[in-house]
Structure 1
Amino acid sequence: MPRIDRFAGPIAALALLLVSGMMMARPAHADPIRWSMEGWKTDFEKSSVDLARILSGGPPRDGIPSIDNPVFEFVPGHDDLAPQEPVVGLTIDGDARAYPLRILTWHEIVNDVVGGMPVAVTYCPLCNSAPVFERTVDGRVLEFGTTGKLKDSNLIMYDRQTETWWQQFTGEAIVGEMTGAELTLVPARLQSWAEFSEENPNGRVLVPNNPNMRDYGRNPYRSYDTSRPFLYDGQLPEGIEPMERVVIVPRGDEEPLIVTMQTVSEAGTWQADGLDFVWTAGRASALDTTRIAEGRDVGTVLVTREGSDVPYDVTFAFVAHAFHPGVTIVGQ
């Protein structure tokens, strides 16, 4: 039987059991009555999704705690990260910061202010999705936490101002007062620590508020990205493995562009619809081996338009299909 760290968190523990091939019961579908009994003040009369599709992932609200007062160190002299470790690199108005997945795996949301802009840096391990959003909506700055709920295996966030529930993958408010609102994406790079530190020698890197709170650097989802989707009750895409990595680029009111990571890596550079994709080796998977630093090399993709970064995400094929079922994945 695999060892499950008592600090791993319920979702991580369940995922570890899954990828180890052990049998388990699925969590029951939640419902508004149960949610209200949990203390939610969310307006469940307003929603844009089928509430029966929302599952309890195990932990309660904020059971996976967001980081609301992030602490940083400067890049020079920081020696906790291996060169190949994955980070979310974010630069706004000259303020460059790296958010290591070794920390995001355990907290999933960082509420921060970068270059004067309030942002939410997010990561859903079950979807390998790491979008960054502006936290200001209609002039109000929101602060986000985790609900402990999932839809299509994806983290559902909530804002602490209205207790509206937000889909992490899309940034859309799906249940509550602000249903229908959308968070604005901010360009960010899922890259290696070596790449970020070389590009931003005067930048800063997120460090744990309490280094003893979690076993930072350990991957509680060992072998997940070579297994099967977890807590997913939707259809799987045809003609492609569900856990194959894909690059997805939103295009406003148009359907997003979705291309397999393999297509880009084999080409080295790839162009479509005025977008330039560049792949480089040297970034470890955060969902492979027990220690993130030892994960297999899955590489980095950078997406730009006319030399400027654009918002994009690197996720799994099943996730792209779940949220964009009518869009063809290039290269599948």
Structure 2
Amino acid sequence: MLKRIILALGLSFAASSTLASPDFWQHEWPKTNFEKTSVSNWVEILSGGPPKDGIPALSDPKFRKASSETRINGAEPVITVEINGDVRAYPVRYLTWHEIANDTVGGVPVAVTFCPLCNSGITFDRRIPQGTLTFGVSGKLRNSDMVMYDRETESWWQQAIGEAIVGDLQGVKLTQLPTWMESWDEFRARRPDGLVMEQPDYGRQYGRNPYVSYDSSHKPFLYNGEMPPHGIPALVRVVRVGDSAWPLTRLAELGEVSEKGVNLSWTSGQASALDAPQISKGRNVGTVRVRDAEGKDLPHDVMFAFAFHAFWPNGNWMLGE
């Protein structure tokens, strides 16, 4: 499986390098203003394989009570969103195949996003000064990270940083919300009254991991940038808070770290979504919570080290030295 993915992505990389040009993309993106961009070299943007909307983003998904859900294994990861008393879990078994869920939680329009190639699960407020946006999957990657697009202006957005990089909205930033990834058991035990996203009505092998053994690879897919410093392996998970990153290996060893006004805690029990053929069988990578001194949850991301270095090349590596 992994070899087939590498071959397919390698062919995609070769094709993309040749066709990395707005002139080529314009027929697929007639509404996108390619004159406005922060991308200095178009070769940075590659095709991930699927075309525009080939990975179908979800909008207004259905939900059921957590207490009634029996298909999700207890160790499987979910992205938890809690806003104004509205508590919802978005299973990664679904987001692996859809990558974006446009929803409204507690009256707030949100986009719950997951980029498998960066292990990046971030929730954004879809409201900007120009209006409320709805996001789709462009099929493009930059530094191996998903490039989203908004259906209103067809501007392109970098998922890892929540910023428009191409189009009329170039330079606009989304507000990241303080959500987190945890195991289904953790969510269900803490909030049995919460809601969980219903299985989408698509012909997908939900629960299967199409990126078998990816997070134990030595090199990321479709990435030609620098490797992380300090000898940190490219696909080690790090917890990013702002422009600082704590290696997950350090947190797992210590259990809790308080630095720079941030408290990070780690508990065992969450399966990796990028390890075994079945997500439920993935190795234990644990759950991270990130809070401030008052105990309030903070926006953060648990991403691969190479992606942090790519988007925060001058970022702070919190190694405990």
TM-score by length of 2: 0.94
- Provide, for residues 161-213 of structure 1, a one-character-per-residue CA deviation record: whole Å limited to 9, x for no partner: 01110000000000000000000000101100011111111100012231x51
State which of 297, 306, 314 in structure 2 corresponds to 1:309. Answer: 297
- How much has 1:16 moved relative to structure 2? 5.6
- How much has 1:18 moved relative to structure 2? 4.2
- 5 Å-filtered alignment, 1:1-332, equals 2=1, 17-18=4-5, 24=11, 26=13, 27-29=15-17, 30-50=20-40, 51-210=42-201, 213-227=203-217, 228-238=219-229, 239-250=231-242, 256-305=243-292, 306-331=294-319
Distance 2:107 2:213 in 1: 38
| Letter matched to residue 95 of structure 1 | D
- How much has 1:17 moved relative to structure 2? 1.9
Task: Evaluate the alpha carbon distance shift between residue 28 and residue 139 of structure 1 in structure 2; reply closer, same or farther with a 3 A threshold.
Answer: closer
| Letter matched to residue 316 of structure 2 | T
Task: Evaluate the alpha carbon distance shift between residue 151 and residue 190 of structure 1 in structure 2; reply closer, same or farther with a 3 A threshold.
Answer: same
SS class of match (1:321)? helix
Distance 1:20 1:48 in 2: 30
Q: Report if aligned partners of 1:16, 1:220 keep a CA contact under 8 Å in 2.
A: no
Q: Report if aligned partners of 1:219, 1:292 keep a CA contact under 8 Å in 2.
A: yes
SS class of match (1:105)? helix
Distance 1:280 1:23 in 2: 37
Distance 1:24 1:162 in 2: 30
| Letter matched to residue 117 of structure 2 | L
SS class of match (2:315)? coil
Distance 1:19 1:328 in 2: 31
Q: Report if aligned partners of 2:94, 2:200 keep a CA contact under 8 Å in 1.
A: no
Distance 1:135 1:189 in 2: 18
Q: Report if aligned partners of 2:12, 2:47 keep a CA contact under 8 Å in 1.
A: no
SS class of match (2:59)? coil
Q: Report if aligned partners of 1:76, 1:202 keep a CA contact under 8 Å in 2.
A: yes
- How much has 1:25 moved relative to structure 2? 6.2
SS class of match (1:123)? strand
Distance 1:192 1:99 in 2: 11
Distance 1:218 1:164 in 2: 31
Q: Which runs of 4+ in 1 moved over 3 A?
A: 18-25
Task: Evaluate the alpha carbon distance shift between residue 39 and residue 268 of structure 1 in structure 2; reply closer, same or farther with a 3 A threshold.
Answer: closer
Distance 1:138 1:232 in 2: 33
Task: Evaluate the alpha carbon distance shift between residue 129 and residue 38 of structure 1 in structure 2; reply closer, same or farther with a 3 A threshold.
Answer: same
> Residue 6 of structure 1 corresponds to which residue in structure 2?
none
- How much has 1:58 moved relative to structure 2? 1.4
Identity of matched residues, %: 47
- Provide, for residues 82-134 of structure 1, a one-character-per-residue CA deviation record: whole Å limited to 9, x for no partner: 11100001100000000000000000000000000000000000000011000
- How much has 1:136 moved relative to structure 2? 0.5
Distance 1:314 1:328 in 2: 15
- How much has 1:23 moved relative to structure 2? 7.0
Distance 2:104 2:73 in 1: 26
Distance 2:128 2:216 in 1: 37
SS class of match (1:37)? coil
Distance 2:131 2:124 in 1: 14
Distance 1:82 1:57 in 2: 29
| Letter matched to residue 105 of structure 1 | T
Task: Give the gaps of 5 or more residues in structure 1.
Answer: 3-14, 251-255
Task: Evaluate the alpha carbon distance shift between residue 286 and residue 36 of structure 1 in structure 2; reply closer, same or farther with a 3 A threshold.
Answer: same
